[in-house]
Structure 1
Amino acid sequence: MNLSPFLARIVPLAVAFLLTACAGTPDAGPAPAGYYRVAQGDTLWRIATKNSRSVAEIKRWNKLSDNDIQTGQLLRVTPPGGSPASSASSSKPVPAPAKPATVDIRLAWPVPGQVVARYNGSTMKGIALAVQPGEPVKAAAGGKVVYVGGGIRAYGNLIVIKHDARVITVYAYNRELLVKDGASVQAGQVIAKAGGTAGVPNDRMHFEVRVDGKAVDPSPYLPDR
C-alpha cells in the first residue's frame, strides 16, 4: 500500500494545530526569525520535521490544545528565548534531494513475522510484515516519537520515530499505541501492539524507512534472516 501521499501531509484533517497567542493573518508576509508561517497543505508533523523539532515541542511552545491550523498562521519553531533554526525564517518548503543518500544506520526488525509485501518505490513505499493480533511492535532503533495517532482510518493507528536529522521509521496498522508524542524510545522498546483496527489489515503491519523525507527500501538497513 502506498503511504507516500499520507507521509507528505500526515493526517491533513486531524493532525494540525490552531495557533493561539502567535496567530497571524493569512495574507501576512514572511515569518520572523524563530517562527514558521503555515503554508497551504502544511501539517504540524511536517512543520516539526522540517525544523528538526518534535510535534510535542511545537505544541508546547505555542500553547496548542486542539487539532487545527490555518494557512497564514505563525508557529513558534524555536524555544522561547532560544536561537532560531536556519529553516524557521521562511514559509517556503525546503526541497528534498531527488534521490536519498545512504546513511549509516542499522535497524532491527519491528516484528518477527515474514515479509508479505515488499518495497517497490511506487505502489509500496515500505514493507508489510505478518503479525499475530496483539503481538508487540518494537522500535527499530532509538529515537524520538514525532507522531502518534489514528487520524486516517485507512492506515489505522500510526507511530513515526525520528532517529536523527535524516532518518525516520514508520509503523502502521497497530491495534494499540503504547508511547506518546515526544517520548524518547530505545531500540527494541515495545511501542505498540499489532493487529490493526477496523478498516485496516489485522494480520500485518506496515513498516517504512525514510531518509531526507524520501521513502527508501528498508531491506539494506535490516539484518538478514
Structure 2
Amino acid sequence: MLTLSRSLRPLLSLLLATLLVACSSTPAPVTGPTPAGHYRVKAGDTLYRIARANRQSVSNLVRWNGLKSADAIEVGQLLRVSPPDGSRPSSGSANTTPRPTPTPTPSSSPAATPILLWPGDGALLYRYDGQRRKGIGIAATSGSPVKAAAAGKVVYTGDGIRSYGLLLIIKHSNGLLTTYAHNAKLLVKEGQQVEAGQTIAQAGSTGTDRIMIHFEVRRDGKAVDPLPWLPER
C-alpha cells in the first residue's frame, strides 16, 4: 500500500472522521407547522423534485431560499416554494430540465452538475436521505465489477470503518470524492490513477449483511445526493 502524501492526509482524516460520525448518530428532523407557500423537506427529497411538484424552477428555489447550491437542503428544512410577496418568478419551471447540463467546472453554478457513471449495474436498493444514509445502495452479485464513476486518483483503501467494510475512495479533478463500500476485493492501490468506468474492485458484503455497492458522492467533504449526478436509467 502506498503512503499518502502530507497534503492528502488532512483531507482523508477529515473524511474518515465524518464517515464515523455519520455511522454513529442521526440528527432529529425539524418539525412544526408549514406556512402557506412553503414546503418542509422530507427524507429522499431533492430540490429538483420539490421544484417540479410546485411548478417552479430549481434556480428560483435556490434564489428565494438563499441556498449555496441545489444540493444544500436538509431533512426538516423549510423552503419557500412560491414567489416572495406574490411576485412572478423570473423563469418558468413546469418544464424544468431533469438533469443539469454537464460542465467541466461544476463549482461555478448550482446547476452545473457533471454526470458521473454508475459504479454498478444492479437495481437501486435505497436512496440517500442526508442522515442515516449518506449515499445509495446498488444491488450486486458476488465478485461483480465495481467501476470508477469518473477519472481520478485513489486516495484511500482499507477497512478502517467497520460499517463500510472494505472501502475505496477516489479524488476527482473537479473537487469531488466518490466512495465505494462493502467490496470483497480491491483491484487498485492508493496513489493509482484510474479512468472513468475502470473496474476498481469486486463487489462483496464486507461490513453489511448482503452483497451490494454502497456509493457516496462528497463535495467539499460533505455528502450530497448521488442520484442527480448520475444518468437516469
Alignment of 1:11-160 (within 5 A): 45-46=12-13, 99=72, 102=110, 103-160=112-169
Q: Does 1:218 align with 2:231?
A: no
Aligned-partner SS, 1:175? strand
| Aligned mate of 1:179, from 182, 188, 204 | 188
Aligned-partner SS, 1:107? coil
Counterparts of 1:219 and 1:104, CA distance in 2: 11
| Aligned mate of 2:216, from 193, 199, 208 | 208
May I ask how many residue pairs the two structures share in their alignment?
Answer: 140
TM-score scaled to structure 2, two decimals? Answer: 0.54
Aligned-partner SS, 1:132? coil
Q: Summarize deviations over 1:73-95 as a string: whole Å, max 9, x none.
A: xxxxxxxxxxxxxxxxxxxxxxx
CA apart distance, 1:200: 2.0
Counterparts of 1:219 and 1:47, CA distance in 2: 24
Q: Aligned partner of 1:131: which letter?
A: A
CA apart distance, 1:105: 2.0
Q: Which residue matches 2:59?
A: none
CA contact (8 A) 1:153 1:200 kept: no
**Cα distance change, pair 143–44 in 1 and its aligned pair in 2 (3 A):** closer
Q: Which has the higher helix share?
A: 2
Q: Aligned partner of 2:213: which letter?
A: M
Aligned-partner SS, 1:160? strand
The 10-residue stretch of structure 1 (175-184 or 158-167) with the greater mean CA deviation from structure 2: 158-167
Counterparts of 2:167 and 2:137, CA distance in 1: 14
Aligned-partner SS, 1:205? strand
Counterparts of 1:216 and 1:44, CA distance in 2: 17
> Which entry has the higher C-alpha Rg, 1 or 2?
2
Counterparts of 1:128 and 1:208, CA distance in 2: 9
CA contact (8 A) 2:15 2:221 kept: no
**Cα distance change, pair 143–47 in 1 and its aligned pair in 2 (3 A):** same
Q: Aligned partner of 1:185: which letter?
A: V
Which runs of no fewer than 5 residues in structure 2 stay unpaired?
Answer: 17-67, 74-106
Could you list the structure 1 runs, at least 4 aligned residues long, displaced by more than 4 angstroms after superposition: none
CA apart distance, 1:43: 5.8
The 10-residue stretch of structure 1 (178-187 or 156-165) with the greater mean CA deviation from structure 2: 156-165
CA contact (8 A) 2:150 2:196 kept: yes
CA contact (8 A) 2:14 2:221 kept: no
CA apart distance, 1:204: 1.4
CA contact (8 A) 1:133 1:203 kept: yes
Counterparts of 2:14 and 2:134, CA distance in 1: 22
Q: Does 1:191 align with 2:158?
A: no
Superposed CA RMSD: 2.9
Q: Which residue matches 2:46?
A: none
Q: Aligned partner of 1:215: which letter?
A: A
Which runs of no fewer than 5 residues in structure 1 stay unpaired?
Answer: 1-15, 18-34, 37-41, 50-96
CA contact (8 A) 1:166 1:213 kept: no
